[in-house]
Structure 1
C-alpha cells in the first residue's frame, strides 16, 4: 500500500505542477485552430526573436563545448595547484542567481565600466547587444558539458592514449582517434543539455539585453512582452514552441545519455 500511495502522490504532484499548466497553455494556443498559432509564429517580431535565440544559443553551445572538453581533460588527466578550486568554480553558475549574473556582467562590461568603456571605444558594444546575451548564456550553461564528460573520461582512463603516444601519435592525434570517440555520447548529451539551457534562459538575458523589441529580444523575452501587452495568442504560441523544443530536447537527452 505504501508503494502505491507514493506513486499516486508523485503522479498528483507532477499533474498539478507540470502537466496541467503545460496542457492549459497548449489548449489556449490551439483553441481557435492551427491558423492563429502559425500566424503568431510567422510575424516579423516572432521570427526575429527566433533568430536572436538561435544565434545566442549556437554561440553559447560552441563556446561551452570547446571549454567543456578542454577543462574536462585538464581536470581528469592533470594534477596542478588549485585543481579543487577550479572544480568548485565550474559549479558556481548552478548556485548563483541568473539575475545576479546579468548585473555582474553590466558592472564589468557596461558602457561606464572600465572594460566595457574600453571595448565601446573600439566599437564593440557588449551590454544591450548580442555579445552580452551570449556571455550571460555561456555563464549559466557553463557546467553542463563538463559534468557530462568528466565521469566518462575518468572511466575511460588514459592507458590507450599512453599506448598511442608510445607508437608515435601526437596529443592531437590521440585525442581525435581515442579520446573523442570514447566521450562522443557523453559529449552529445552535454551539448544537448547546454542547448536546452541556452534556448530557455531568461533571467540573465533579460538583464543584459535591455529587452529591446525587434533588436535584443529572445523567444522567452518575446513571450513576456507579448503577454504583458495583452497579445495572448502570440504569447501562448511562443510558449508552446518553447515547450515543444523542451520535449524534443528531453527525448534527445534520453537517447544520448551515457550508459552506466
Structure 2
C-alpha cells in the first residue's frame, strides 16, 4: 500500500470531487433548476404535449425490446466466451467492445448503409418481403441493441470466470442436461451480474441519441424518441419543454443507478455471510 501525506490525500479528494462537480453535478443541477424555475408548469406542460408523451412511449418500447434482446444474447455470448474455446474467440471479444469505442453516429450510418431499403445491402430484399428496418422501429431497436450490448456482457463475463465450472461439471456428471444445468446452477450464480447489466443497459438504451437519430429519420409522431424531442424542442425555442423532457430522462437514469447502488451492497454482504 502506498502511503501519502495528509495534505496530498486532501488535495486528491478535492480534485476528484471538483472534477465530478463541474462535469456532472453542476450541469444536472442547472437543468433541474431550469425545469422547476416556474414551478411544476414546465413538467405538466411537457406531460400534456402529445409529441412528448408519444416520444416517451416509443422510447420505453424500444428500450424494453433492446434490453430483452441484449439480455438473451448477452448471457449467451458471455457463456460462449468463458466456457468454450473456438477459433476467433479473441476477435469476438474485441468486437464486443466496439460499441464502446465507436461513435453512435457511425453505428447508425453503418446500419443505414446495410439495411436501407433502396441502397442497402440487405434492405431491398427485406422490403420485398414486407419488412422495413430503416426509418422504422426495428432499425431503432437494432441501433440501441448495438450500443448497449457490451454492458451486459462485461458484467457477466467476470462473474462466470470467477465462479468457474466445477458445479456445472458436477451437475452434468449427476445426469443434468444443458438446460437444467443453466437454470439451476449457472443462472443463480450470475443473477446479480445479469441484473446489473440489465439496469445499465436500460439506462443506456433510454438515453441513446446519435445512432437512433440516423436510422429513425426523426419523424414526428412516428420515429421520434425522447432524446430527439429534446433536440427538436430546444431548437424550436421551446426550452422549458426540452428541460422538462430531459429531467424525465435523468430521473430514469438516476433510478437505474439507485437500483444498482442498492443491489451491490446486498450482494456483497450476502457473499460475506455465505463464507
Q: Give the TM-score normalised by structure 1.
A: 0.96
Superposition CA RMSD, Å: 1.3
Contact 1:186–1:256 (Cα < 8 Å) also in 2:
no
Give the counterpart of 1:234 among 233, 241, 251: 241
In the alignment, the residues of structure 2 paired with residue 220 and residue 149 of structure 1 have an alpha-carbon distance, to the nearest angstrom, of 29
* Structure 1 residue 92 displacement after superposition: 1.0
1:130 aligns with 2:165: no
Aligned to 1:98: 104
In the alignment, the residues of structure 1 paired with residue 46 and residue 58 of structure 2 have an alpha-carbon distance, to the nearest angstrom, of 17
1:3-44 deviation line (CA, Å, top 9, x unaligned): 112222222222222222111111111111113312212321
Counterparts of 1:18-33 in structure 2 under 5 Å?
A: 18-33=24-39
Aligned to 2:222: 215
Q: Give the TM-score normalised by structure 2.
A: 0.91
After the TM superposition, which segments of 4 or more aligned residues of structure 1 sit over 4 Å from their partners? none
> Number of paired residues?
260
Q: Which runs of 5+ in 2 are unaligned?
A: 1-6
SS of the aligned residue for 1:143 comes to helix
Contact 1:119–1:125 (Cα < 8 Å) also in 2:
yes
SS of the aligned residue for 1:168 comes to coil
In the alignment, the residues of structure 2 paired with residue 36 and residue 107 of structure 1 have an alpha-carbon distance, to the nearest angstrom, of 39
In the alignment, the residues of structure 1 paired with residue 53 and residue 238 of structure 2 have an alpha-carbon distance, to the nearest angstrom, of 16
Contact 1:29–1:237 (Cα < 8 Å) also in 2:
yes
Q: Which runs of 5+ in 1 are unaligned?
A: none
Give the counterpart of 1:204 among 200, 205, 211: 211
Contact 2:113–2:121 (Cα < 8 Å) also in 1:
no
* Structure 1 residue 116 displacement after superposition: 0.6
In the alignment, the residues of structure 2 paired with residue 68 and residue 36 of structure 1 have an alpha-carbon distance, to the nearest angstrom, of 39
